[in-house]
Each structure stands twice: as C-alpha cells, then as structure tokens.
Amino acid sequence: MNHPLSAPQSTPLPLGTYVLSGGLTDPGRAVGQAREAERLGLNTLWISERLGHRDLGVVAGALGQATSRIGIGSAITPFQLRHPAVLASLAGTLQSLTRGRFHLGLGRGGPWLAGLGVPPTAPAGMVVDLADILRRLWAGETVAYDGPAGHYPGLRLAGPPQTTTVPLLMAALGPQSLRLAGEHFDGVILPAFLTPGAVARMSGTVRAAAAAAGRDPEALSVHATVLTLADPTPHERGILAGRAVGYLHPVPHGDRIARLNGWNPSILERLRAHPQLSALGQALADETYRPDELAGPARLVPDDWLTASTALGSPAGCARRLAAYLDAGADELILHGAPPGRLAPVVGAFRHRSTPAPAAPPPPLPPR
C-alpha cells in the first residue's frame, strides 16, 4: 500500500477530514476545525471550494497559518474557473506558505457550472494539457500553448521555480476520468457513497492505467471519501440519507455510483421521480436544499445502501469499516459528514486498532 500524502514532519493516521462541511458559511470556523483535526493526528484537511464563502486560496492560506503539520488539500476545485497562470500561482504560493503541505485536487466540472461561461465538463484533452501546463510553470518554464486548454502565447510565473512539487490530484468517478488520473496525475479523489468493493475496482482501474502508461502504479495515492458518524441519532441518520440524495440525484453521477455499487437502478428512478426532486428540473438537490430539508426523498434511500457505503455505528464498528476501505486499496480516507470534534471517538478507536499490542513478556526461567 502507498504512503499517503503527508506533512514532511511526521506520518500520522491515514485519515483526513473536510472543513466547513454541512453547508457552513462562516469561513472562520475552519480555523478551529483545523486545529482540532491536527490535535487528533489526522493527516489532511480538505476544502470543497464553493463560490461565495469557501474560496480555496483564502481558506487554505488561513489553515496553513493556523496549523504546523497537517496537510491541506482541495477536494475539489473546478480548474475551468481560473486562468492557468492564476491557478499555478495560487497553488505555488500555498505550497511555499505551508512549507510543502499543500496538494491541489481538481475536478472536471459538473452541471453547477452552467451559466458561468465555462464548459460544464472539461474534455479529456483540456485536463491532460492543463496538468502539463501547471507542472511546467512550477518548474520555471515559459509556456507557449494553443490547444484545448486555451491560447497562451507566453505563460510564466515570477520568481524562482517551485522548490517543492505541488501534488496534482484528480476527482474521478467514471472510467475515463479514472484512467486520466492514473495516466497523468499524482493521485485520485473518489466521491462518497461508494462501497469498499467499488473502491477496490476503481483503485485497480487507476493503477492499471498508470502501469499501462509506464508509470509506477504504487506511486499514486488513492483518497476515498467516506461518510463517517459514530452512534448517530435518528435525526443524524436522516441527515446522512439527505446527503445521499444529493450524491444520487445528479445524472450521470448517481447512476455511476449505483452501477459501481451494484445497486438496483429502478430505486434511483423512483428517487428522482419524488415531487421535491422532479420539480428541480436541471437544478441540483444539494445546491437547492440542505440535507435536513430532503427528508421526503431520503426515505426512498434503502437503509442497506447507507450501511454498505458509509461508516456508521459504534466507534469500534466505524474503525473496522474504515479499515475495510484501506484494505480495498485506498491510501487515505477523507472522513465526511461530521466536524473533527465529532470524529474523535472514531479516530481513537482506529488508532487503538492500528496500534500493535505489546509483546507478551517471556515466561520465567525454570528454577535451577
């Protein structure tokens, strides 16, 4: 198994966590969450960028100064919204500011980008070329480019080359994106509500693509997102089901999750036909409603779907479930659905499970 991306000073648990999850709009709360996550010994803080209250550069910069060891990553930012030189400058500045703790997770887009004047989904050629442009800019080159990613006669960054490489990760779910991640990126970010079996198959696809491209498949890192909640109340479990609606509602995202998990697609059809969702048209459920506002459609999500694709239950049970995802091929798990303080019992159980028991003392020598 690979070593997960980590801060240079230590190798903590192979667990990360989102900051500002659950629709929080006060970016200042990320600072306290980051300090708590570092205190718990987590490996990485992840930022899901949203226009308005979660600007990647601002939040990541604040987290970098509030912490000293934990990694900081974007999971994810849509690269279409920034000029390549601006994106390279942002990531390079964060890498210098955090002394090598930043990694850039990119997404190919989605329906929510409609109306912003950019392609809702970036074509493969744009993805591949952008990764190359970023790396060349960080290396100090002047880049002349004309292709799917745009027309740039002479891109360059001021100052010396980046001394610490910025790891490039790609969010992927479909087979083409998984192959692109293996062929051209340093790692992959997998979405929530996947079973360990699905994670195993997707990890295999990424690493097989890397090997076919002449790259070392074991050098890539696989980051799997897992909804994690110890001893959930009925209300919290309902919110979790509402989160599942947000992941399953979009086409083709939800269809791919169902197919990878081996779930009955007719249930997905009934879910989307719920009056609350069918009235949305092209809008997305998780962009329109909070998870607790999706109680009606959430009742259509089978309970066994939730238990098969999340870590729920006692802290020890959650820890066992997380270990199953790591055994399936993930190198780091992005714990989602609860703030770091709420994760403390699970992290403690996972640490206890991962710590070898002390060796038994040798038996006493027989009397002479």
Digit-coded pLDDT (tens) for 51-74: 888 999 999 999 999 999 999 999
Contact 16, 333 (CB under 8 A): yes
| 214 and 253 co-located in one domain | no
What span, in angstroms and rounded, lies between the C-alpha atoms of 80 and 101? 24
In a domain, 359, yes or no: no
| 76 cis-preceded (ω within 30 degrees of 0) | yes
In a domain, 257, yes or no: yes
Domain boundaries, position 130: 15-228+314-354
| 58 and 171 co-located in one domain | yes
> How many other C-beta atoms lie within 10 A of the C-beta of residue 195?
21
Block residue for tokens 């100090």: 140
Number of domains forming the structure of the chain: 2
In a domain, 194, yes or no: yes
In a domain, 80, yes or no: yes
Pairing outcome for strands 150-155 and 143-147:
antiparallel
pLDDT, tens only, 304-333: 999 999 999 999 999 999 999 999 999 999
In a domain, 198, yes or no: yes
pTM of structure: 0.92
Contact 299, 216 (CB under 8 A): no
In a domain, 365, yes or no: no
| 201 and 293 co-located in one domain | no
Angle at 121 between CA 115 and CA 122, to 5 degrees: 120
| 27 and 132 co-located in one domain | yes
In a domain, 189, yes or no: yes
pLDDT, tens only, 92-115: 999 999 999 999 999 988 777 777
Positive or negative: CA dihedral 80, 86, 88, 93:
negative
| 65 and 199 co-located in one domain | yes
| 281 and 335 co-located in one domain | no
| 272 and 131 co-located in one domain | no
In a domain, 362, yes or no: no
